[in-house]
Amino acid sequence: MLYFAYGSNLDEENWVLWCEKKGYDPASIEALGPAWLPDHELVFHYQSRLRSGGALDVRRRHGAAIPGALFRVHDWEGLDAKEGVSGGYYRRLAVTALTDDGRAHAATTYCVCDERVGDFVAPGPEYRQMVTRGLSRFGHSHDGFLAVAQGTPASPSPTTLFAYGTLMSGERSHDLLAPRVRQAHSAAYVTGASLIHIDWYPGLVLTEEGSVHGELYELDDVAATLQEFDSYEDFSGYENEGSLYRRSLVSAVTGGGPVLAWTYIYLGDADAFPLIPSGRWSGP
**12-22 and 125-137 helices, crossing angle to 10°:** 120
Model pLDDT, residue 137 = 98
pLDDT digits (tens, 9 = 90+) for 59-77: 999 999 999 999 999 999 9
Peptide bond into 158 cis (omega under 30): yes
Using the predicted structure, report yes or no on whether residue 283 has a pLDDT greater than 80.
Answer: no
Q: Where are the beta strands (DSSP E) in 99-176?
A: 104-112, 160-163
- What is the rounded distance in angstroms from the CA atom of residue 163 to the CA atom of residue 262? 9
Alpha-helical segments (H) within 34-124: 77-82
Q: How far is CA 3 from CA 74, 87, 92, 158, 276, in A?
A: 10, 20, 10, 22, 37
Residue 66, number of CB atoms within 10 A of its CB:
28
Q: In the predicted model, what is the mean pLDDT of residues 144-150?
A: 95
Asked whether the predicted pLDDT for residue 244 surpasses 90, the reply is: yes
Q: Give the count of alpha carbons within 13 A of 251, CB side only.
A: 11
Find all residues with CB under 8 Å of 257, minimum gap 6, and list them. Answer: none
Q: List, for residues 182-230, the tens digit of each pLDDT value.
A: 888 789 999 999 999 999 999 999 999 999 999 999 999 999 999 999 9
- Residue with the bigger pLDDT between 242 and 195: it is 195
Question: Reduced to 3 states, what is the DSSP secondary structure of residue 204?
Answer: strand
- Could you report the per-residue pLDDT of 251-274, keeping only the tens digit for each? 999 998 999 999 999 999 999 999
pLDDT at 260: 97
pLDDT tier at 240, thresholds 50, 70, 90: confident
Predicted local confidence at residue 79, as pLDDT: 97
| Residue-range domains of the chain with CATH | 2-149 (3.10.490.10), 160-272 (3.10.490.10)
**Residue 195 near residue 276, CB atoms below 8 Å:** yes
For 251, the 3-state DSSP assignment is strand
pLDDT band at residue 160 using 50, 70 and 90 as cut-offs: very high
Mean pLDDT of all residues belonging to the chain: 95
pLDDT of residue 99: 98
